[in-house]
Structure 1
């Protein structure tokens, strides 16, 4: 029976087959263990754990005993879940990619994790993060080419899904830490409307900008999870083709030549497929948005880490230390003014959407494909304004470059329009997959 198990199926398919018992859970985990042992040593997406699959098999047996009747099994019955190592998870030590004493980093389990556990998910393990979800990289490699970065800060979460060793992972985004690594690793990456997924129990980088997000291998799988995690979720199914907007101007110039050319090709393909695609001048003050966002990150990181940094400064990665030191110089008034600018940007972008009848913004998920080298996680500039505004975003895999590295398309929806964004994404996804 296990021969019929497809580890690369959609999360929605895997969940259905495990719930029904068509794929015996223990057989599925045995196959996943084989793949994990084959691929993980080359990707290094998970925090090492002794006896990982022995633990999982035991937890699976307990789950089977709890839910012997398939009709009563919850929606994520037996789904292995990778959790970025800034989330608190009962039974696991939080290290946050850092060298700080672990005892000061622990806390109560994140409600987002508890929610998916209650839906039947099994914790596959903690995934590698950059130090405190900033730019100090961990050991994770890109699953398409180990000489290239997987992106960050949700490095391990994106790489695990991209490598096919986890069907579902948690990440976070403060600048571009979901959408960028999703593009680099060829996965779907979702960042919700700001605060729509509970972010308590997650070590913050910037309390005003942090978002909890997820990675899956397709939109159908993401829709299964978002309905569980997002507050007041209302399923939207529409056959109406969305009107798509291209935010022309200084922002798009931040993409590389390769990235812009690929993006324009995707826009033409969507137009040829019957979507209305409009060019709209947007964000003429992009440099100010960029500076304001980075000011908030630095200031709020400095405030959160104040006590730890005073005691353990020498244990911080140089990139994190520089951020904190920069943030220490920012006054409360400067921070308050910068935070207020988030609402102004969101209102401006929404007004443009209303004026031009747009359902979604389209943009590159990253300047280009994943850069070579592991010392940097790449530039999150293409994600920054959408995170700053708090609007929901989704990265869709959108082909590969001449070197075989993935490229992504970033969709941005309306404020609390996550449901419509995902419904529209299910129309766009097959067109991109044809690349």
Structure 2
């Protein structure tokens, strides 16, 4: 690998790099140096990072090269969303309230990645408490456009080829939407399969840990370590998938480019041998976008009690307004919203009766122009509320030259099968 250029190394997928690192055909130090060079070139425009320690990372890479293989992530540089606690980096959660906070311990997910050999290079920008007030990060494909949120920096860092892997979280659309906007693969596993200890909470019923990479194999590799589920990495399918083309009740909000992308993806998968059928969602799914929003803000009002009571002046106007929505939702109303969600969840067996995966938009369209908003989470809210495994797959570019993708969704708890079928789909939707 000594003859490879930095440009070649930063384009490697995490799974490709992992294979070379395990074979000792590539050193952890060489890969990290290439990533650091890419950061030097791209970070002034993208602004994905809020903390970096190149010297500490290089020291760890050299130690890994001198010792035994430590695990499936051995030597892979990893970016960590600034919602996770890290014992060697500040954790600010995207808020000035915590601008001097230094945790004493890693979040469980971070510790598990380190144990598997990952090199935590630094922390990436999150929106304020993983809500809708953006940080400084810009889209790596056009800095005049949003990268999405709330995992803005993580998606942008992978999209700008600064790192092969990054950690993120999703409560509404915080992995799927920024992955779509930045042209990378993003995976949100089934709710509750990855430990959330040490991650700043927003909504107990919804918060889910996942990650970003350049391929389905990449996100399978990363999330399998955190879930202690090595079988997620097998990615073998015994038969071609049955795919439900799901336009959702929000189809009217999809841009023409997003609609065409979805239809084209369905046609390509059909030509590859998949059985593609149109799916009409049960009536119980119609209110899910509203139900998700109400549950999220009712729980956020409680989760951010310290911040709103002790430091209200340091919260954005946007967040204060949304917490006021949560304040108005009493116990009985919250129970009713959860009952409506339970009704939809009971109908999932009907939805997946004739398909293994749902195919639906990842976002309304290309990344929005401007940096004041992070985009609309509309096309992920229902699936986040239901806790289903969801994966964003890049499929092309839109009329503005920015990435477009599709979202693939599996039944609850079917993460291994969902990843394997998404890997199959990826092979037939290559750009």
What is the TM-score of this pair, normalised by structure 1? Answer: 0.94
| 1:160-239 pair list within 5 angstroms | 160-232=157-229, 234-235=231-232, 237-239=236-238
| 1:200-279 pair list within 5 angstroms | 200-232=197-229, 234-235=231-232, 237-279=236-278
Task: Report the count of equivalent residues.
Answer: 426
Structure 1 residues 231-285: Cα deviation after superposition (integer angstroms, max 9, x where no partner) = 5553452141110002245232332222112211221222122211101211445
Q: Any conservation in 1 of the 2:210–2:223 contact (CA below 8 Å)?
A: no
Matched with 1:16 is 19
Matched with 2:35 is 32
SS in 2 for 1:202: coil
SS in 2 for 1:58: helix
Distance 2:90 2:51 in 1: 11
Question: 1:107: how far off?
Answer: 6.2
Matched with 1:314 is 313
Structure 1 residues 175-220: Cα deviation after superposition (integer angstroms, max 9, x where no partner) = 0000011110010000000101111110011111111010000012
Structure 2 residue 370 is the aligned partner of structure 1 residue 373: yes
Structure 1 residues 382-406: Cα deviation after superposition (integer angstroms, max 9, x where no partner) = 0111111111000011111122110
Distance 1:108 1:343 in 2: 36
Question: 1:45: how far off?
Answer: 0.6
Matched with 2:2 is 2
Q: Any conservation in 2 of the 1:129–1:137 contact (CA below 8 Å)?
A: yes
Distance 1:360 1:395 in 2: 13
Question: 1:109: how far off?
Answer: 1.8
Match of 2:407 among 406, 410, 434: 410
Question: 1:115: how far off?
Answer: 0.6
Matched with 1:364 is 361
Structure 1 residues 27-85: Cα deviation after superposition (integer angstroms, max 9, x where no partner) = 22222211110011111111144xx21121112223334x2x4xx44211111110100
Q: Any conservation in 1 of the 2:35–2:161 contact (CA below 8 Å)?
A: no
SS in 1 for 2:97: coil
Structure 1 residues 74-103: Cα deviation after superposition (integer angstroms, max 9, x where no partner) = 211111110100101111111011111446
Q: Any conservation in 2 of the 1:251–1:286 contact (CA below 8 Å)?
A: no
What is the TM-score of this pair, normalised by structure 2? Answer: 0.94
Structure 2 residue 58 is the aligned partner of structure 1 residue 57: yes
Structure 1 residues 274-320: Cα deviation after superposition (integer angstroms, max 9, x where no partner) = 21110121144555211111111111111111122111111011111
Residues 155, 101 of structure 1: CA spacing in aligned structure 2 closer, same or farther, 3 A cutoff? closer
Residues 116, 215 of structure 1: CA spacing in aligned structure 2 closer, same or farther, 3 A cutoff? same
Match of 2:142 among 142, 145, 148: 145
Once superposed, what is the RMSD of the aligned Cα atoms?
A: 1.7
